[in-house]
C-alpha cells in the first residue's frame, strides 16, 4: 500500500466524520476538526520557523556588523514586550510592542485602502464607457445610493425626532435595495459553490465504496 | 506618572512609525521634485526605511504566531496533565501536531501528502456542509417576518440559482441574471468596498493622530 492509498483512505474516513455533523454535533465531527487544527498548527509552525524566522536570524545575527545584529534582535525585543500584555501590573510595558505593530499596520491599511480600493474604484465608477452609458449611469447612481444608505446624519424635526430630508431618504431606500440584491447574489454564488464541493465529496465517497 | 510616560511613548511610536511607513508606501520616485524638499534621494530613503520597518513587523508577527502555536500546545498538554474533560480531543490534536512536525523532519514528501490529504478532505467537507447551512439560512430569512428586503433577497437567490440550472428552459433567465450581475450587483459591491475602504482610512488616521488609543487599554 503506497502513501497515496493511505491518503485516500484517511480522506474517505475524515470526509465521513465531517459529514456526520448532518446528524448533529457529535464526537466524530469534533475529532476530525481537532485532527485538522493539530495538523495545520504543526504545518504553520514549520513554515513560520523554516521560511521566516530562520532566514531572518541567519542573515542578521550571523553578520559581522553590530548594527545588523541589533536589527536582527529587534523583533525578539518587540515579541518580549508583547508578552508583558498578559501581566496586569506590567501590561503598560507591552503597549510599546502593540504600538509598533498598530502604527505600521494602520499605515499599511491606509495605503492599501487608498491605492487598492478608493482611487481605482472611484476612477472606474466615474468613467462611463462608450456604448454602455445607461449601465454606467445606473452603476454610478447605485454606488452613490449604497453609500448614502450608510450615512446616519439627520436633522431633528419640531418634535425633536431625527428626520432625514426626502431625497436622502429616497436614495437610502434605493441603496438598501442595491445592497440587498448584491448580498443575495453573493449568497447564491456561495450556495452554488458549496453545492459543487458537496457533490464532488459525495462522488469521492461513492467512488471509494 | 510612569504609566503615562509609557502611554505617551506608545502614542509617539505609533504616530512616528505609521507616518514613516505611510510616506514610504505612498511616495514614489516619479513624484520627486529635485529643486524642492522632495528629492528622489529622500523618497528612496523613505521607501527603504518603510521596507525595513515592514520587514521587522513581519518577523515580529511571525514570532507571535509561533508563540501562539506554542501556547496552543501548552494549553492542551496542561489539559492532558489535569485529565480535564474532553481529554481525547487534546490527545488527537497533539498527536496530529506531532505527526506533521516529525514527518517533516524525517520525510518532507510524506508530510506534504499527510497535510494535503487531511486539509483537502476536511476543508472541502466543511465547505460542502456550508450548503445546508446556507439553504437553511435562506429558509429562515422568510420564516419569521416577511419584509420587502427579505423577499427581494430570496428572490435574487432563487433567480440566480434557477439561471444556473443546466436545462434549456433556464436560458430565458440568463439575460436577467447577467444584467443583475453587471449593474446592481456591480454597483453594490463597489459601494460596499468603498464603504470599507473609507472606514479603514478613517480608523487608520484616527490611530495615527492619536485620537483612537483603544489599543493601549
Is B14's pLDDT higher than 70?
yes
| C-alpha cell read off for B40 | 528622489
DSSP state of A156: E
Residue B217 lies in a domain: yes
Q: What pLDDT, on a 0 to 100 scale, did the predictor assign at position A104? A: 95
Distance in angstroms (rounded) separating the CA atoms of residues A174 and B148: 12
Residue A38 lies in a domain: no
Residue B193 lies in a domain: yes
Contact B117 A8 (CB under 8 A): yes
Cβ-based contacts of A109 with chain B (< 8 Å) = 200-201, 203-204
Domain hosting residue A171, numbered range = 129-209
The residue out of B59, B84, B109 marking a domain boundary is B84
Distance in angstroms (rounded) separating the CA atoms of residues B133 and A132: 39
Among the ranges given (B33-37, B60-64, B206-210), the one the predictor scored with the smallest mean pLDDT: B33-37
Q: Where are the alpha helices (DSSP H) in B83-208?
A: 87-106, 108-143, 148-163, 174-182, 184-208
Q: What is the mean pLDDT of residues B42-50?
A: 89
Res. B56 pLDDT band, cuts 50 70 90: very high
Res. A1 pLDDT band, cuts 50 70 90: confident
Q: Give the total number of structural domains in chain B.
A: 2
CA nearest neighbour of A39 among B27, B124, B35, B111: B111
Res. B3 pLDDT band, cuts 50 70 90: low
CA nearest neighbour of A201 among A30, A27, A32: A32
Residue B104 lies in a domain: no
| C-alpha cell read off for A105 | 499596520
In chain A, residues 106-145 whose CB comes closer than 8 Å to chain B: 106-118, 121-122, 124-125, 135, 138-143, 145
**pLDDT tens digits for A2-35?**
777 888 888 899 999 999 999 999 999 999 999 9
The minimum CA-CA distance between A112 and chain B, rounded to whole Å, is: 9
Residue B5 lies in a domain: yes
Q: What is the mean pLDDT of residues B117-134?
A: 91
Query: Cβ distance A39 to B114 under 8 Å?
Result: yes
Q: What SS3 state is found at A26?
A: coil
Distance in angstroms (rounded) separating the CA atoms of residues B76 and A73: 30
Which among B194, B198, B210, B213 is the top mutation candidate for probing chain A, defined by the most A β-carbons within 10 Å of its own β-carbon? B194
The angle at the Cα of B78, spanning B75 to B81, to the nearest 5 degrees, equals 160
Nearest CB to B101 within list A46, A108, A193: A46
Contact B125 A45 (CB under 8 A): no
Among the ranges given (A72-81, A150-159, B83-92, B142-151), the one the predictor scored with the smallest mean pLDDT: A150-159
Q: What pLDDT, on a 0 to 100 scale, did the predictor assign at position A150? A: 86
Is B1's pLDDT higher than 60?
no
More confident residue, B8 or B22: B22
Nearest CB to B186 within list A118, A139, A189: A139
More confident residue, A92 or A137: A137
Residue A86 lies in a domain: no
Domain hosting residue B203, numbered range = 183-217
Residue A201 lies in a domain: yes
Q: What pLDDT, on a 0 to 100 scale, did the predictor assign at position B84? A: 84
Q: Give the total number of structural domains in chain A.
A: 1
Query: Cβ distance A180 to B153 under 8 Å?
Result: yes
Query: Cβ distance B20 to B46 under 8 Å?
Result: yes
Residue A1 lies in a domain: no
**pLDDT tens digits for A83-129?**
888 777 887 888 888 899 999 999 999 999 999 999 999 999 988 88
Query: Cβ distance A11 to B117 under 8 Å?
Result: yes
Query: Cβ distance B101 to A45 under 8 Å?
Result: yes
Q: What is the mean pLDDT of residues B137-163?
A: 89
Residue B175 lies in a domain: no
Res. B35 pLDDT band, cuts 50 70 90: low
Between the CA of residue B51 and those of A100, B17, B64, B78, B135, what are the distances in Å? Answer: 14, 12, 20, 40, 46
Contact B18 A103 (CB under 8 A): yes
Res. B57 pLDDT band, cuts 50 70 90: very high
* Percent of the residues in chain A that have a pLDDT greater than 70, as a whole number: 100
In chain A, residues 81-100 whose CB comes closer than 8 Å to chain B: 82-83, 92-93, 95-100
**pLDDT tens digits for B76-90?**
999 999 988 889 999
The minimum CA-CA distance between B34 and chain A, rounded to whole Å, is: 24
Residue A20 lies in a domain: no
Polymer length in residues for chain B: 217
Q: What pLDDT, on a 0 to 100 scale, did the predictor assign at position B79? A: 92
Which among A79, A82, A182, A201 is the top mutation candidate for probing chain B, defined by the most B β-carbons within 10 Å of its own β-carbon? A182
H or E element that contains A138: helix A133-149
Residue A61 lies in a domain: no
Res. B217 pLDDT band, cuts 50 70 90: low
A28 CB neighbour count, 10 Å cutoff: 16
Cβ-based contacts of B65 with chain A (< 8 Å) = 44, 48
- Kindly report the average pLDDT of chain A as a whole number: 90
Residue B130 lies in a domain: no
**pLDDT tens digits for B113-122?**
888 888 888 9
**pLDDT tens digits for A144-164?**
999 999 887 777 888 888 888
Distance in angstroms (rounded) separating the CA atoms of residues B26 and B47: 9
More confident residue, A1 or A65: A65
Res. B2 pLDDT band, cuts 50 70 90: low
The minimum CA-CA distance between A25 and chain B, rounded to whole Å, is: 12
- What DSSP line would sit under A75-135, residue for residue? HHHHHHHHHGGG-SSSHHHHHHHHHHHHHHHHHHHHHHIIIIIIHHHHHHHH---TT-HHH
Q: What SS3 state is found at A155?
A: strand
First to last CA, chain A: 17
Residue B142 lies in a domain: no
Residue A180 contacts by C-beta under 8 Å, 6 or more apart in sequence? B149, B152, B153, B156
Q: What pLDDT, on a 0 to 100 scale, did the predictor assign at position A119? A: 95
Distance in angstroms (rounded) separating the CA atoms of residues B47 and A161: 51
More confident residue, B27 or B188: B188
Is B46's pLDDT higher than 80?
yes
CA nearest neighbour of A187 among B58, B160, B200, B51: B160
Q: What pLDDT, on a 0 to 100 scale, did the predictor assign at position B59? A: 94
Q: What is the mean pLDDT of residues A65-89?
A: 86
Query: Cβ distance B22 to B208 under 8 Å?
Result: yes
The residue out of B61, B84, B107 marking a domain boundary is B84
Contact B134 A190 (CB under 8 A): yes
ipTM above 0.90, yes or no: no
Q: What pLDDT, on a 0 to 100 scale, did the predictor assign at position A16? A: 93
Q: What pLDDT, on a 0 to 100 scale, did the predictor assign at position B17? A: 93
Q: What pLDDT, on a 0 to 100 scale, did the predictor assign at position A129? A: 81
Dihedral sign, CA of B65, A14, A192, B134?
Answer: negative
The residue out of B26, B58, B84 marking a domain boundary is B84
Between the CA of residue B3 and those of A93, A95, B16, what are the distances in Å? Answer: 8, 10, 20
- What DSSP line would sit under B80-106, residue for residue? HHHT-TTHHHHHHHHHHHHHHHHHHHH
A59–B contact, CB cutoff 8 A = no
Among the ranges given (A85-89, A111-115, B22-26, B204-208), the one the predictor scored with the smallest mean pLDDT: A85-89
Longest CA–CA separation in chain B, Å: 77
* Percent of the residues in chain A that have a pLDDT greater than 90, as a whole number: 58
Contact A182 B184 (CB under 8 A): yes
Amino acid at each position: 500500500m503506497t502513501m497515496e492509498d493511505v491518503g485516500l483512505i484517511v480522506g474517505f474516513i475524515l470526509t465521513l466524520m465531517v459529514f456526520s455533523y448532518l446528524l448533529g454535533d457529535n464526537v466524530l465531527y469534533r475529532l476530525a476538526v481537532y485532527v485538522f487544527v493539530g495538523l495545520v498548527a504543526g504545518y504553520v509552525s514549520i513554515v513560520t520557523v523554516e521560511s521566516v524566522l530562520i532566514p531572518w536570524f541567519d542573515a542578521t545575527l550571523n553578520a559581522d556588523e553590530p548594527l545588523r545584529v541589533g536589527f536582527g534582535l529587534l523583533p525578539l525585543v518587540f515579541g518580549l514586550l508583547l508578552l508583558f500584555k498578559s501581566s496586569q501590573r506590567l501590561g503598560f510595558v507591552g503597549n510599546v510592542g502593540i504600538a509598533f505593530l498598530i502604527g505600521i499596520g494602520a499605515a499599511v491599511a491606509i495605503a492599501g485602502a487608498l491605492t487598492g480600493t478608493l482611487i481605482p474604484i472611484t476612477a472606474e465608477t466615474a468613467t462611463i464607457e462608450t456604448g454602455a452609458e445607461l449601465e454606467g449611469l445606473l452603476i454610478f447612481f447605485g454606488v452613490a445610493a449604497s453609500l448614502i444608505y450608510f450615512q446616519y446624519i439627520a436633522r431633528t424635526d419640531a418634535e425633536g425626532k431625527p428626520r432625514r430630508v426626502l431625497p436622502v431618504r429616497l436614495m437610502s431606500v434605493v441603496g438598501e435595495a442595491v445592497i440587498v440584491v448584491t448580498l443575495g447574489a453573493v449568497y447564491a454564488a456561495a450556495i452554488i459553490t458549496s453545492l459543487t464541493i458537496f457533490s464532488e465529496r459525495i462522488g469521492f465517497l461513492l467512488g471509494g465504496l | 506618572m510612569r504609566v503615562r510616560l509609557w502611554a505617551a511613548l506608545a502614542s509617539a511610536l505609533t504616530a512616528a512609525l505609521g507616518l514613516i511607513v505611510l510616506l514610504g508606501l505612498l511616495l514614489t520616485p516619479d513624484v520627486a521634485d529635485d529643486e524642492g524638499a522632495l528629492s528622489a534621494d529622500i523618497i528612496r530613503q523613505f521607501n527603504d526605511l518603510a521596507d525595513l520597518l515592514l520587514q521587522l513587523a513581519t518577523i515580529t508577527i511571525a514570532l507571535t504566531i509561533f508563540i501562539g502555536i506554542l501556547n496552543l500546545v501548552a494549553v492542551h498538554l496542561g489539559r492532558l496533565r489535569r485529565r480535564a474533560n474532553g481529554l481525547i480531543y487534546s490527545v488527537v490534536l497533539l498527536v496530529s501536531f506531532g505527526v506533521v512536525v516529525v514527518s517533516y523532519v524525517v520525510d518532507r514528501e510524506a508530510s506534504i501528502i499527510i497535510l494535503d490529504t487531511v486539509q483537502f478532505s476536511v476543508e472541502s467537507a466543511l465547505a460542502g456542509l456550508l450548503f445546508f447551512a446556507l439553504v437553511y439560512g435562506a429558509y429562515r430569512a422568510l420564516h419569521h417576518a416577511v419584509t420587502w428586503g427579505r423577499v427581494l433577497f430570496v428572490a435574487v437567490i432563487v433567480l440566480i440559482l434557477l439561471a444556473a440550472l443546466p436545462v434549456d428552459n433556464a436560458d430565458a433567465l440568463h439575460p436577467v441574471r447577467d444584467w443583475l450581475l453587471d449593474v446592481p450587483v456591480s454597483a453594490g459591491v463597489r459601494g460596499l468596498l468603498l464603504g470599507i475602504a473609507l472606514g479603514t482610512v478613517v480608523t487608520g488616521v484616527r490611530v495615527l493622530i492619536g485620537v483612537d488609543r483603544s489599543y493601549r487599554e
